[in-house]
Amino acid sequence: MTAQIIDGKAFALGLRARVGELAAAFRGSAGRPAGLAVVLVGDDPASNVYVRSKGKATIAANMESFEHRLPAETSQDDLLALVERLNADDRVDGILVQLPLPAHIDAQTIITRISPDKDVDGFHPVNAGRLMTGLPGFVPCTPLGCLMLLEDQLGDLSGLDAVVIGRSNIVGKPMAALLTAKSATVTIAHSRTRDLSSVVRRADIIVAAVGRADFVKGEWIKPGATVIDVGINRTDEGLVGDVDFDGAASVAGAITPVPGGVGPMTIACLLRNTLVAAHRNAG
């Protein structure tokens, strides 16, 4: 193995500690803690774990956590009514509705109803538009965490060739926008991309967010490239990423592990976004 392992867990712990200190200062000056409301509909086991760890991390960072666990049969109208109540609640600075939602609820309708000023996920079309136009707004937590790791590893990203594999609203599209804003040359690849291995081979930066275990092969990677693996796939061998780790680690310059890479950054960035929301909402 030649690649340096990018320790997202350690980076995230440092970020959480800094946010925790600033959140304590906010609490002192505003006379109330910053507050994050997390809404879970149904009992998807993975979502359950994520929501529990978000709540714990919120409290550990000196903020208030409001957890709303609703049954899977909850109607779209009832969920919209809860979102409206949270929009109007001055103790709540950030609102996160955990995805995926049950099939009878339209996620986009729910996301669009969250106040853009409390949309700490950065999924509201207003925040997506702000990101695309370079205006200040909330940036989705996973791509924000990836960008922090990339800049920590590489410094200036200007002029580098970046390939983002995956075009979701949650990761791929905002990741491409963030890298473009940093003056990287960005290609978005996806399931219809022809000759993906050749597209990946020219990249200095590879961000893999396809949701398929060991999809990106070591032979595709340019020697010395930096690989960010967003995938969290449950397999018989445990959690694995979207990148064939052993193959990639023998050629890449640096690579994030799964687990312990991007995953911890997502929660750290959520806390960061919540503190930013609190300052904006209080100010």
Binding residue positions: 166-168, 232
Nearer to ligand GUN, 160 or 170 (CB): 170
277 belongs to the binding site for ligand GUN (CB under 6 A): no
**Cα 159 from Cα 24, distance rounded (Å):** 39
CB within 8 Å of 28: residues ≥ 6 apart: none
Name the minimum Å distance from CB 90 to ligand GUN: 22
Q: Pick the stretch among 65-73, 93-101, 205-213, 226-234 that binds ligand GUN (CB under 6 A).
A: 93-101
Neighbours of 32 (CB within 10 A): 14
Query: What is the helix (H) or strand (E) element at residue 180, kind and residue range?
Result: helix 172-181
Quick one: CA torsion of 119, 99, 9, 68, rounded to 10 degrees? 70
Beta bridge partners, 65, equal 36
Among 64, 93, 119, 121, binds ligand GUN (CB under 6 A): 121
142 belongs to the binding site for ligand GUN (CB under 6 A): yes
98 belongs to the binding site for ligand GUN (CB under 6 A): yes
Provide the annotated active-site residues: 54, 98, 121
Phi, psi dihedral angles at 61 (to 5 degrees): -95, 25
**Cα 144 from Cα 230, distance rounded (Å):** 12
Residue number with the smallest Cβ distance to ligand GUN: 99
Nearer to ligand GUN, 171 or 249 (CB): 171
Q: Are 207 and 149 within 8 A, CB to CB?
A: no
**Cα 29 from Cα 279, distance rounded (Å):** 10
**Cα 55 from Cα 59, distance rounded (Å):** 6
- x/- letters, 157..186, toward ligand GUN (CB under 6 A): -------------x----------------
Name the minimum Å distance from CB 107 to ligand GUN: 9
CB within 8 Å of 201: residues ≥ 6 apart: 220, 221, 222
127 belongs to the binding site for ligand GUN (CB under 6 A): no
Closest among 171, 162, 164 to 122, alpha carbons compared: 171
97 belongs to the binding site for ligand GUN (CB under 6 A): yes
99 belongs to the binding site for ligand GUN (CB under 6 A): yes
Q: Pick the stretch among 56-64, 95-103, 129-137, 197-205 that binds ligand GUN (CB under 6 A).
A: 95-103
Q: Pick the stretch among 5-13, 79-87, 96-104, 112-120 that binds ligand GUN (CB under 6 A).
A: 96-104
131 belongs to the binding site for ligand GUN (CB under 6 A): no
Question: Can you say which residues are annotated as belonging to the binding site for NADP(+)?
Answer: 166-168, 232
107 belongs to the binding site for ligand GUN (CB under 6 A): no
Neighbours of 199 (CB within 10 A): 18
Closest among 251, 252, 230 to 241, alpha carbons compared: 230
Name the minimum Å distance from CB 264 to ligand GUN: 13
The residues of the shown chain that bind ligand GUN, judged by CB under 6 A, are 96-99, 121, 141-142, 170, 266
